[in-house]
Each structure stands twice: as C-alpha cells, then as structure tokens.
Amino acid sequence: MEINEAVQVLTALAHPSRLEVFRLLVSLGRLCAGELAERLKLPKPTLSFHLKELSRSGLIEAEREGRVIFYGVRVSGFRELMDFLTEDCCQGRPELCLPNSRRLGKAESCC
C-alpha cells in the first residue's frame, strides 16, 4: 500500500458514522443495509453514502443475494492498512505494539 492509498482508507474511517459501520461489521460480520441502518439509526440514503465511501476505500465489500445486498469487512483491505501502519513497528520492542493485556511477556512477536 502506498501512502496515498493509506490516506484514502484513513479518510474513509475518519468519520464517526463510517467508523461505526466498520466496527459493527467487524464485530457482527455480514449485515444487510437495512439492518445496518436500523442498528445505527441512520437514514438509508446517508448510510448508502457511507457504505459507498467504505467500499471505495477497499475496507468493505458488497455481495448481492437476490434483492438484498450484504456488506462485510474486506479483510485483505484492512490487513493492507495494518501492514502499512505497522511496517516499521516497535523499533525492536514488541511490547510497544501489543495491547496492555498482552504486554506481560505472553506474546513473542510484534503486531
């Protein structure tokens, strides 16, 4: 991933509604637009705009099943962003990258 691509992805996440959509899809898996709109209490046209931005950034993907479109996290897109952000991670100190619960010497590799 190049820096301009990373900026596009981060820009997509830099909106509260889009970040909520992404986090919901990460935690619950595939959802249809109607369920996303209901859970997030967003008007469908507004949600549609945010889904388009997340899709364009490569973070989510849509799959049509009949008349219903399901949205899910595009794992490879998210992994590319994480790889880019952590490319030079930790300066040889993996404890800097790990969540607090994993800093107690249980993890051996960074990120």
d(CA 57, CA 78): 10
Is residue 103 domain-resident?
no
CATH value at residue 59: 1.10.10.10
Query: What's the pTM?
Result: 0.78
Structural domain range at position 75: 3-86
| pLDDT for the residue 94 | 62
Is residue 75 domain-resident?
yes
Least Cα distance to 10 among 47, 83, 59, 76 occurs for 59
Is residue 80 domain-resident?
yes
Each residue's pLDDT, cut to its tens digit, for the chain (111 residues) gives 889 999 999 999 999 999 999 999 999 999 999 999 999 999 999 999 999 999 999 999 999 999 999 999 999 999 898 888 877 777 766 667 666 544 444 444 433
Is residue 25 domain-resident?
yes
